[in-house]
Amino acid sequence: MDVDFLLTETGEVGLLSSENLFKKVAGILFDHENGRMTLEYTDMDYLDLNIPVEPEFFGTLDLALFIHVGAVKNNFISQAYQVPLMFLNDPYRVEIFKHVRTPPKPLESYFYFISHCVLGQPVHRLDAGDEDTLGCILGDTLPSELKFAPHLERRKAIESRPEFAYTPNAPTMGLGGGAVSHPSERMKIIREARKRPEDGDKDGTDEGRKD
């Protein structure tokens, strides 16, 4: 599996995989010290991406409220959704973005994002040492030329109804009232759950648990 990191002029960011992610991603963890990203899955497994993000994109990532996650197969978008973007060892980001939610219409949001991508770089390659694989996973195809696979196109048609119209909101420093919101504490919960001996109360016991 190869993965590219893409950006729009308005500061939206996303990942595009060369094949479907076999597990649902709960969030993306970014380490600003080494520039690496980690996919955090809903089952608490994870995948460390093996190519660092260029430092010039760190500022854009810092202002991103969420990150798009998608996959392409035979030049059709086969997966598309949004997840929280968290920074390693940055508890203040969790607090600032705790009331922020992902867009309610993920396909409309992803289509807007992929249609406006202007920059990108590889962030994961199956063989990172092979320079011939470092080009865009789309080859000569532009991101804006991608279409949804039939099963997603049907869902997008529902989202495209006037009452569900998607209005993009670029992230801002002040996170004003118009900012898009998402449950950004989910990443924190997942990582804390790994430290607990088992599900239950905070000290790891099952007291008060109902089966």
- Is 185 domain-assigned? yes
Residue 177 lies in a domain: yes
pLDDT number for residue 173: 42
> What CA–CA distance (Å, rounded) separates 39 from 52?
13
CA torsion through residues 206, 209, 210, 211, sign: negative
The separation between CA 115 and the C-alpha centre of its own chain, rounded to angstroms, equals 16
Task: Tell me, yes or no, whether 98 lies in a domain.
Answer: yes
Q: What DSSP letter does each residue of the chain carry, written as one string?
A: --EEEEEETTS-EEEEESS--SS-EEEEEEETTTTEEEEEETTS-EEE-SSPPPGGGHHHHHH-S-EEEEEEETTEEEEEEEE-EEETT-HHHHHHTTT----S-HHHHHHHHHHTEEEEEEEE-TTTT-GGG-S-TTTT--GGG-EE-HHHHHHHHHHTSGGG--------TT--TT-----TTHHHHHHHHHHSSSSSSTTS--TT---
Q: Can you tell me the mean pLDDT for 13-17?
A: 96
pLDDT tens, position by position, 39-53: 999 999 999 999 999
47 burial level (CB within 10 Å; 0-12, 13-18, 19+): middle
With respect to residue 201, please indicate whether it lies within any of the assigned structural domains. no
The pTM for the full model equals: 0.72
Q: In which domain, by residue range, is 126 found?
A: 3-195
> Please, what is the average pLDDT of the chain?
80
Lowest-pLDDT range of 93-102, 156-165, 192-201: 192-201
Q: Return the pLDDT at 49.
A: 96
Domain-located, residue 120: yes
Query: Which pLDDT belongs to residue 14?
Result: 97
Residue 205 counted as domain residue: no
Q: pLDDT tens for residues 120-150?
A: 999 999 877 767 667 788 888 888 888 998 8
Confidence band, pLDDT 50/70/90 cuts, at residue 2: very high
Q: Has residue 202 been placed in a domain? A: no
Report if residue 200 sits inside a domain.
no
- Residue 190 — very low, low, confident or very high, per pLDDT cuts 50/70/90? low
Kindly tell me if the per-residue pLDDT of 201 is higher than 70: no
pLDDT over 60 at 167, yes or no: no
pLDDT at site 78: 93
How many domains does the chain divide into?
Answer: 1
Using the predicted structure, report yes or no on whether residue 93 has a pLDDT greater than 70. yes
- Closest C-alpha to 159, from 211, 204, 103, 120: 103
